[in-house]
Amino acid sequence: MIQDIKTLLKSKPLVIDGALGTQLETKFNKLLQEDGINIQSHPLWSALVLLKNPELIQEVHYDYLCSGANIITTSTYQASKRGLLEHAPGIENDDEVSAVYDKAIELAVEARLQYLSEVDKGSHSLTNKEIFICGSIGPFGAYLANGAEYTGEYDSHIIEQKELKLFHHDITDRFLNNPECDIIGFETIPNYSEFQQIIELMEDSLQKTNKPFYISLNFKDSKTICDGTPLSIVVDYLNERLSRSEVLKSAFIGLGCNCVPLESATDILSNISSLNKIHEFPLIAYPNAGLDYDLSKGEYSIKSSEKQVWEGLCREWLKKLNVRLVGGCCGSGPKEISIIRNVTDRFVIEENSY
């Protein structure tokens, strides 16, 4: 699987899906209200829908496939073991936590099967057969549910750094050992110590089960991740670990940014690219589309994002910055993913015409 994805990324970019919570609220707001589910105010966020209305999750996955997504991310960003045991009704032990992770993967798989069966019948004008399931793992800050994924401020909540490794262990292990999970994605990582612990965890875990993974960071500015660590230090550490570990190097498929303002992504990617001279790994971009987190207010603010802006930026990322995984984060939906897919398809045609 690793070499399949790595080979594919050398020949073409792949499209990641868009926001899950945004689409659930947009499409099913009335139904969620009737069921007493408020995604934004609950510590489990969209994972609460996974527990109570799983069929809605599957429908959103399906919508993104119809829009051209190659990679479907599971509804587990906020579903850490600790978070589920503390906040999920009826989840009381490790086996029940593991069942939640398996259910999330199953929903993505079922959406893929539904879509592919319709493609085979000629029901879709867009033939999209390269589809991968990505196990989504959010940061420790998402579990804290206090905006820490935008600040990286963990010091008052952890005693020692290895806690961060333990925090991510169970969900990572489940995704590694579920054969239906094709990729693991660590998303919105705002803290350097957490980044280090994820790398250590993956290096240890990959000795037993090899599976492709990526890490997407969150940023304070274009040269600094949220906790204040310079991007150069993060990339230097990554390069050092990739150089030391063949198994890590083999499984790692990209570094990038998500949950950043759309207008900030190009500068961030340019800075990663300038530091990426040793292993030249692919870059990843799935910024926000019209929905950004306002730290001063502790809430999301809405901005407009136009089709031409997405098209222009995506084209630049693909042509100049070696971005090979591209999608949308907060505020994005099937419309944005369709725009991105059109850009990636045109890019492949142009590249193959030379």
Phi, psi dihedrals of residue 57, rounded to the nearest 5°: -60, -45
The pLDDT value recorded for residue 296 is 59
Number of Cβ within a 10 Å radius of residue 258: 24
For β-strands 323-326 and 14-15, DSSP reports them as: parallel
Specify the 3-state DSSP secondary structure of 93: coil
Query: Which tokens go with 215?
Result: 């890490």
| Residue linked to tokens 């098209």 | 311
User: How many whole angstroms separate alpha carbon 95 and alpha carbon 175?
Assistant: 14
Instruction: Please return the burial class of 155, using the count of CB atoms within 10 Å of its CB with bins 0-12, 13-18 and 19+.
Output: exposed
Do the annotations mark residue 259 as ligand-binding?
A: yes
User: How many whole angstroms separate alpha carbon 332 and alpha carbon 325?
Assistant: 16
Please state the pTM of the whole predicted model: 0.94
What is the per-residue pLDDT across 90-105, written as a single tens digit (0 to 9) for each?
999 999 999 999 999 9
Closest listed residue to residue 206, CA positions, set 239, 237, 172? 172
Closest listed residue to residue 292, CA positions, set 270, 265, 268? 265
pLDDT value at 280 more than 50? yes
The pLDDT value recorded for residue 30 is 81
Task: Report the run of H or E that residue 14 belongs to, with start and end.
Answer: strand 14-15
Average pLDDT over residues 243-250: 97
The pLDDT value recorded for residue 302 is 44
pLDDT value at 45 more than 90? no
Average pLDDT over residues 10-37: 89
What is the per-residue pLDDT across 262-272, written as a single tens digit (0 to 9) for each?
999 999 999 99
pLDDT value at 292 more than 90? no
The pLDDT value recorded for residue 291 is 54
- Domain 2-352 is in which class? alpha beta
Do the annotations mark residue 329 as ligand-binding?
A: yes
Q: Out of 150-154, 217-221, 289-293, 313-317, which region has the weakest mean confidence (pLDDT)? A: 289-293
User: How many whole angstroms separate alpha carbon 281 and alpha carbon 234?
Assistant: 14
| CA angle (214 as vertex; 342, 165 as ends), nearest 5 | 150
Dump strand ranges (E) for 193-341: 213-217, 219-221, 224-225, 252-258, 283-286, 291-294, 299-302, 323-326
What is the per-residue pLDDT across 190-238, written as a single tens digit (0 to 9) for each?
999 999 999 999 999 999 999 999 999 999 999 999 999 999 999 999 9
User: How many whole angstroms separate alpha carbon 301 and alpha carbon 294?
Assistant: 6
Residue 150 DSSP code: G
